[in-house]
Amino acid sequence: MSERFDAAIIGGGPAGLAATAYLLYARLNVVLISPDLGGKVSYPFALRHVPSHDTVWGAGLVHELAERVTGELEHHIKDTVSRVTRLDDGSYSLALNEGGVVEARTIILCTGARAQRLYVEGEADFWGKGLSYSAISHAPLFANRPVAVIGGGERSITALQILIPLVSHIDYIEARPQPVVDRARAEATYAHPKVTVFRGWEVQQIVGDDFVTGIDLVGVNGEVRSVPIEGIFVQYGLLPNNSAVRDLVDLDANGHIVIDERCATNAPGLFAAGDVTTVYAEQVPVSIGEGAKAGLTAWQYLSAKSVE
């Protein structure tokens, strides 16, 4: 028979560590299931005349939480969860990828989200040297420089709007058109004098020396055009890592787990926090706060159950 915990936290990034720290503080019997501790908290970024530095606020706090959790946690399973199933008594069973099963009365899912990549030549070479997947994190570094935004949906429009007041010019390559919430707002953004829109063009390669210097586009008729820029923002929607609970909880149209203001999902006892949820996060400090909130909510849920 598998061991049963009060709470299983899935994912050891900023959200998962904050949730774990609260549940350890509450003296609950917890297990953290995650291949790593820390998640995505180190993003060194450099530009010409801007030395490499880390743009993450709160990374120190994440390292502190990781140290604290490591010191106190008895059960860290370095694996990933493939599937979560709800049992008849309302608790959950978690199947691990490398085999084995864990049971828990509550779950906090903090599995984050992945940026979509272009998969073109030069992309891997220039990541962090002019190429970014997060306008929120890096836009201010590009003041008065020409940049390109590659995307086609809500996240791209947000990036354009953040960048317009800062940069000198934006070439917007709408490589994968997606529905947008407010068409009029999108059209007003595309029509801004600082924005040139490329429709029907695909990115062929990213070029540069030590840093990005340009982007080669190819049109439907095979025409190739080289666009000189100093920065590239790849701004497709993020892909939430929701596969373990996809059948158990409500998701929005982009696959984010729908939560309320206390990080509760529609499944009783199953909570979620950070980039995998509908909460606007995409930043380490927000994920830490969300994870802490989920930990507190799970603690209250277990306390209420104990007097039922």
Ligand X SMILES: Cc1cc2nc3c(=O)[nH]c(=O)nc-3n(C[C@H](O)[C@H](O)[C@H](O)COP(=O)(O)OP(=O)(O)OC[C@H]3O[C@@H](n4cnc5c(N)ncnc54)[C@H](O)[C@@H]3O)c2cc1C
Q: How far is the CB of 148 from ligand X (least distance, A)?
A: 16
Strands, DSSP E only, in 55-200?
Answer: 76-77, 81-86, 92-96, 101-109, 113-114, 131-132, 146-151, 169-174, 195-199
Q: How far is the CB of 81 from ligand X (least distance, A)?
A: 4
234 binds ligand X (CB under 6 A): no
Q: How far is the CB of 192 from ligand X (least distance, A)?
A: 25
Which residues within the stretch 240-299 sit at the binding site for ligand X (CB under 6 A)? 241, 244, 274-275, 281-284, 287
50 binds ligand X (CB under 6 A): no
Question: At 64, which helix (H) or strand (E)?
Answer: helix 59-72
Strands, DSSP E only, in the chain?
Answer: 4-10, 30-33, 44-47, 50-54, 76-77, 81-86, 92-96, 101-109, 113-114, 131-132, 146-151, 169-174, 195-199, 201-208, 212-219, 224-228, 231-234, 239-240, 270-272
Among the residue ranges 129-137, 150-158, 196-204, 263-271, the one whose residues contact ligand X (CB under 6 A): 129-137
Termini Cα distance of the chain: 26
Q: How far is the CB of 296 from ligand X (least distance, A)?
A: 16
DSSP letters, 104-117, are: EEEEEE---EEPPP
- x-marked contacts with ligand X along 95-124 as a string, rule CB under 6 A: ---------------xxx--x---------
Nearer to ligand X, 80 or 91 (CB): 80
Nearer to ligand X, 134 or 156 (CB): 134
Tokens matching residue 146? 């020409």
Nearer to ligand X, 120 or 218 (CB): 120
Nearer to ligand X, 106 or 137 (CB): 137
The three-class DSSP label of residue 118 is coil
12 binds ligand X (CB under 6 A): yes
Residues that bind ligand X (CB under 6 A): 10-16, 33-36, 39-40, 43, 55-57, 80-81, 110-112, 115, 133-134, 137, 241, 244, 274-275, 281-284, 287
